[in-house]
Amino acid sequence: MSLNRRLWAWLLGPEPATTEFDQTEPGANSPTPYVNSRTSYFEEFGLQALTQALLSMIKDGDNRNSIDRAKPYRICLSLMDRWEIGGLVVPEVFLPVLENVRQFKAQASSKAEFAEVLRSASVFFDGIESGLIYGELVGLLAQAIGPGSLSFKERCDKLSLINFILTNFNIHEEEMVTLHAPLFCLAALSMLEGSKDQDRSSPTPINSPRKHSPSPYLF
């Protein structure tokens, strides 16, 4: 699938007149003002509508076949061809896409059907920067084992999504293995230590038995 120039123009605004860049001052030919103007145009007029449309497609695909379900993943991949668009849209749809794939695993009528959807999602996943991927994973981990009002079930669900991502997608690139994975483990240990310290400092009434519940921190 390729997006034609009309769609790029609709999302990023019209091309500027050539004369706007025919300046005599030093550095006037720099594309920075032009790039910034296109990014600002998309943020103001296209970002919200495009993101909502993609999220709606992802959600509406819950009851569709594998081909239709994979369409929004392919669209997201195509949008990544233009960093002015992909850099703003991808962070908003990354986790919803992966959660959608995880849900489909339980709904798919066959392993082949799930494999087809996973293949499209994997191509999308492989096009995303490692820093963004692990940043989102750390965010999920913080929700799962950090302070907050999430229930035990919700925390376990966050951990389940992390496990699904690490199990089914390519996380073996050199930058991931040598940089991001160690930092992810360090963040996990730091969060666990912080949770233990917070638990020790929590006052327990003398006459009230301490409530014990399954720990969401073990995974």
CA distances from 133 to 23, 94, 136, 146, 169 (A): 41, 8, 5, 19, 11
Sequence spans of domains, the chain: 1-13+37-128, 129-198
Distances in whole angstroms, Cα of residue 27 to Cα of each of 20, 22, 135 = 13, 11, 36
State pLDDT tens for residues 85-110. Answer: 999 999 999 999 999 999 999 988 89
Is the separation of the CB atoms in 106 and 60 below 8 Å?
no
**187, two tokens:** 């963040």
> In 14-151, which residue ranges form alpha helices assigned H by DSSP?
32-45, 47-60, 66-79, 83-107, 111-126, 130-145
pTM, to two decimals: 0.79
At residue 212, the 3 state secondary structure works out as coil
CB 158 within 8 A of CB 217: no
Q: Tens of pLDDT along 144-197?
A: 998 889 999 999 999 999 999 999 999 999 999 999 999 999 999 999 998 877
Q: What is the pLDDT of residues 104-156, one digit of tens each?
A: 999 888 999 999 999 999 999 999 999 999 999 999 999 999 888 999 999 99
